[in-house]
């Protein structure tokens, strides 16, 4: 006997429009994507400029910063779950300064930022390497000409470095947005969507709905919405950022 199926047409999508829980997961995912994308780009750029020197430090720093990127998100989640527990390493260090006692993974006010911090720690290395490559490709003649014209460091960064880093910013932003919208492993290991549904992302909702509650049709509809959301945002971001890229 083959299982019987019922054609429901677009009913799953209609139900999604009225599903407040799914709307909540979209908001949570967007918050994580926004924080991770901005913070990883900023910290990646700062670290790249800090180690952008022609010496052994350049190669060593690339290895140090990129190492978290090659680790499995599950491994990273387990490492940070030990650090961020109530009696974990972080609180023990903060206790020395009288600042301990924060429930990093169970306090609804800070848990989403804890997850973002873990993701940023892992993804910052990718941004650093991309920005380092971009910085190394900028001709030194431009800086020498700016120095002759009397430009200070801030003016050099504003008029030379930052404009020519535009391709690197585009790559990092798009890659971070896509990975952040699909975030699953970190959340599962650290909080499993909790406390409650505070940190439940779209990917986690899809897995739970499809493989825990066995509603594959509904989960597939969520996956299609996630695909469309990522596609639209990626196209808009690439189109917008490409406009500020300059050639030399």
Other C-beta atoms closer than 10 Å to the C-beta of 28 total: 23
| Closest residue by Cα to residue 70 from 122, 10, 118, 143 | 122
Mean pLDDT across the chain: 89
| Total count of domains within the chain | 1
Residue 231 lies in a domain: yes
C-alpha span between 76 and 121 (Å, rounded):
9
Please report which confidence band the pLDDT of residue 39 belongs to, taking 50, 70 and 90 as the band edges.
Answer: very high
Query: Going by C-beta distance under 8 Å and a sequence separation of 6 or more, which residues neighbour residue 11?
Result: none
DSSP classification of residue 215: -
In a domain, 41, yes or no: yes
Residue with tokens 């008029």: 159
In a domain, 31, yes or no: yes
Both structure tokens of 102: 């924060």
Q: What is the pLDDT of residue 123?
A: 93
In a domain, 85, yes or no: no
3-state class percentages of the chain: helix first, strand second, coil last, to nearest 5? 75, 0, 25
Residue 86 lies in a domain: no
91 lies in some domain: no
**Using an 8 Å Cβ cutoff, are 202 and 221 in contact?**
no
Instruction: Residue 116: name the closest of 30, 175, 197, 45 by CA.
Output: 30
Dist CA 212 CA 202 (whole Å): 15
Residue 41 contacts residue 127 (beta carbons within 8 Å): yes
pLDDT per residue over 181-217, tens digit each? Answer: 999 999 999 999 989 999 999 999 999 999 999 898 9
Extract the tokens encoding 17: 């429009």
Work out the percent of the chain whose per-residue pLDDT is above 90.
53
- 132's tokens: 């380092």
Question: Which CATH number is 171's domain given?
Answer: 1.10.3720.10
Domain membership of residue 43 as a residue range: 17-74+102-242
Q: What are phi and psi of 34, to 5 degrees?
A: -65, -50
pLDDT per residue over 91-137, tens digit each?
A: 888 888 887 778 899 999 999 999 999 999 999 989 998 998 899 88
Task: Decide if 2 is inside a domain.
Answer: no
> pLDDT of 136-179, one tens digit each?
888 889 888 988 888 888 898 888 888 899 999 999 999 999 99
| Upstream peptide bond of 195 is cis (omega within 30 degrees of 0) | yes
The answer to whether the beta carbons of residues 113 and 191 sit under 8 Å apart is no
Give residue 1's pLDDT: 54
In a domain, 129, yes or no: yes
């Amino acid at each position: 006997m083959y299982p019987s199926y019922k054609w429901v047409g677009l009913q799953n999508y209609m139900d999604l429009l009225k599903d407040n829980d799914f709307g909540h997961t979209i908001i949570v995912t967007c918050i994580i994507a926004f924080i991770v994308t901005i913070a990883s780009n900023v910290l990646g750029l700062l670290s790249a400029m800090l180690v952008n020197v022609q010496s052994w430090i350049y190669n060593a720093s690339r290895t140090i910063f990129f190492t978290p990127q090659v680790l499995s998100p599950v491994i990273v989640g387990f490492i940070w779950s030990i650090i961020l527990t109530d009696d974990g390493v972080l609180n023990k260090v903060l206790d020395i300064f009288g600042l301990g006692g924060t429930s990093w993974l169970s306090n609804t006010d800070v848990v989403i930022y804890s997850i973002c911090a873990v993701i940023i720690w892992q993804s910052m290395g990718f941004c650093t390497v991309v920005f380092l490559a971009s910085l190394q490709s900028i001709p030194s003649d431009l800086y020498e000409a700016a120095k002759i014209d009397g430009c200070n460091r801030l003016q050099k960064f504003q008029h030379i470095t930052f404009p020519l880093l535009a391709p690197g910013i585009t790559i990092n932003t798009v890659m971070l947005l896509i990975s952040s919208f699909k975030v699953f492993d970190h959340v599962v290991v650290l909080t499993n969507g909790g406390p409650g549904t505070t940190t439940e992302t779209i990917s986690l909702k899809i897995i739970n709905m499809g493989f825990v509650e066995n509603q594959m049709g509904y989960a597939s509809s969520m996956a299609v919405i996630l695909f469309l959301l990522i596609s639209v945002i990626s196209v808009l971001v690439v189109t917008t950022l490409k406009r500020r890229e300059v050639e030399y």
